[in-house]
């Protein structure tokens, strides 16, 4: 979700669900050790509960970055062992780390020793075309011994060669049964499943077998879905939210961001283009919010034009 789930995206998602745990895009240890720390770690107070996802493979570097995350107020540190991109592999982290479970365990122990907040791991069920359940079982067992108690498992293998990151989300088959078996074999661990889940009914089905569900691209492209979650999964009362109310709250946020940080509204608006997914007039509404000719206008004026266009074309 790099370049997708930035703080502006997460602000939108928090408007829609008060309870879902949000994750940052993956931040590499190199970016924090040698780059602009505030740029990578700044977030809105409204985003809690919020996990910082790190990418790296050096225990000492990860421990340092985990401490930074805790100092900045994050609620969880998550180590990415699932990203299959070749760019990430060249940095020797992401999914290729699954081939070195003891190294992952060393990384986790270094972070667990460095911070008092939870340290979790996101990973795949395997790498390349080896489909043995024993591989992921042994990986989880080794890393759990280092102090990790929560594993978020993408129910596909990661093919490290020959597939793009997009193809890696589509070509390797989904095998939810392996994730379910992890919960059977490690009942004391928190096991969450990820991959290919696009409806509330599917989430409810998965929750019969595991402790949690992580949603990625479906939540991004169809964010209004999040508005169902608090009532469906957390027992909360309906909020009375409407798409128009959320859009207006996002415009308030755009104005605040422009005043405080000079952020242009279109850098934020791109994350809410799916807000009217499946609704009549959505195409014209998206076109207005995406119109580069309107960049010089105020966000509130663009909203009025977008809503008007949606009504006309509905």
Mean pLDDT is lowest, of 25-34, 134-143, 158-167, 287-296, for 158-167
pLDDT grade for 312, boundaries at 50, 70 and 90: confident
Closest CA to 281 of 254, 247, 258, 240: 247
Same domain, 90 and 135: yes
Q: Stretch 199-223: mean pLDDT, rounded?
A: 96
- Residue 112 belongs to some domain of the structure: yes
Cα–Cα distance list, 228 to 1, 193, 240, 242 (Å): 22, 19, 11, 12
Between helices 243-261 and 7-16, what is the axis angle to 10°? Answer: 150
Verify that 224 and 276 share a domain, yes or no: no
* CATH assignment of the domain containing 291: 1.20.120
Q: Are residues 209 and 262 in the same domain?
A: no
State whether 206 and 292 are in the same domain: no
The mean-pLDDT minimum among 42-56, 63-77, 85-99 falls in 85-99
Q: What is the mean pLDDT of residues 230-237?
A: 94
Q: What pLDDT, on a 0 to 100 scale, did the predictor assign at position 313?
A: 76
**What is the per-residue pLDDT across 114-129, written as a single tens digit (0 to 9) for each?**
999 999 999 999 988 8
Residue 1 lies in a domain: no
Q: Is residue 2 part of a domain?
A: no
Task: Clarify whether residues 260 and 289 are in a common domain.
Answer: yes
Q: Give me the CATH number covering residue 127.
A: 3.20.20.70
One domain, residues 277 and 183: no
User: What percentage of the chain reaches a pLDDT higher than 70?
Assistant: 96
Over residues 211-222, the mean pLDDT reads: 95
Per-residue pLDDT of 75-90, as tens digits, reads 999 999 987 665 555 5
Longest dimension (CA), the chain: 60
> Can you give the pTM of this predicted structure?
0.93
Query: Same structural domain for residues 145 and 227?
Result: yes
**Total of domains in the chain:** 2
Q: Which region holds residue 217: left if phi is over 0, alpha if psi is between -120 and 50, else beta?
A: alpha
296 and 150 assigned to the same domain: no
Report if residue 301 sits inside a domain.
Answer: yes
- The catalytic residue positions are 83
23 and 131 fall within a common domain: yes
**Which range of residues forms the domain containing residue 114?**
7-234
Same domain, 14 and 138: yes
Instruction: Look at residues 234, 263, 291 and tell me which one is the last residue of a structural domain.
Output: 234
Q: Which of 200, 234, 268 is the last residue of a domain?
A: 234
222 with 249, same domain? no
> What digits encode the pLDDT tens for the residues 22-34?
999 999 999 999 9
* DSSP sequence for 53-66: EEE---HHHHHHHH
What is the pLDDT averaged over residues 227-244?
Answer: 93
Domain end position, chosen among 187, 217, 234: 234
């Amino acid at each position: 979700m790099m370049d997708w789930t930035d703080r502006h995206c997460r602000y939108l998602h928090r408007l829609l669900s008060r309870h879902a745990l949000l994750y940052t895009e993956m931040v590499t240890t190199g970016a924090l050790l040698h780059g602009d720390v505030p740029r990578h770690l700044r977030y809105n107070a409204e985003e809690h509960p919020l996990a910082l996802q790190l990418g790296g493979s050096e225990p000492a570097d990860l421990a340092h970055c985990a401490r930074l995350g805790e100092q900045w107020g994050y609620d969880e540190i998550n180590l990415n062992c699932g990203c299959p991109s070749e760019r990430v592999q060249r940095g020797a982290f992401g999914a290729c780390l699954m081939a070195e479970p003891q190294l992952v365990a060393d990384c986790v122990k270094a972070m667990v020793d460095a911070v008092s907040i939870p340290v979790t791991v996101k990973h795949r069920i395997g790498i390349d075309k080896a489909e043995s359940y024993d591989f992921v079982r042994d990986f989880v067992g080794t890393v759990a011994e280092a102090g990790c108690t929560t594993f978020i498992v993408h129910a596909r293998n990661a093919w490290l060669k020959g597939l793009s990151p997009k193809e890696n989300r589509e070509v390797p088959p989904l095998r939810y049964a392996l994730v379910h078996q992890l919960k059977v074999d490690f009942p004391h661990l928190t096991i969450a499943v990820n991959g290919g889940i696009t409806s509330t009914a599917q989430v409810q089905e998965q929750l019969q077998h595991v402790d949690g569900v992580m949603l990625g691209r479906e939540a991004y492209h169809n964010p209004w879905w999040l508005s169902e979650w608090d009532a469906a999964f957390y027992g909360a009362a309906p909020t009375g939210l409407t798409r128009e109310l959320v859009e207006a709250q996002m415009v308030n946020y755009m104005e605040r961001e422009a005043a405080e940080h000079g952020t242009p509204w279109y850098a934020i608006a791109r994350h809410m283009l799916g807000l009217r997914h499946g609704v009549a007039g959505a195409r014209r509404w998206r076109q207005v919010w995406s119109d580069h000719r309107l960049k010089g206008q105020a966000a509130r004026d663009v909203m009025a034009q977008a809503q008007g266009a949606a009504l006309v074309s509905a």
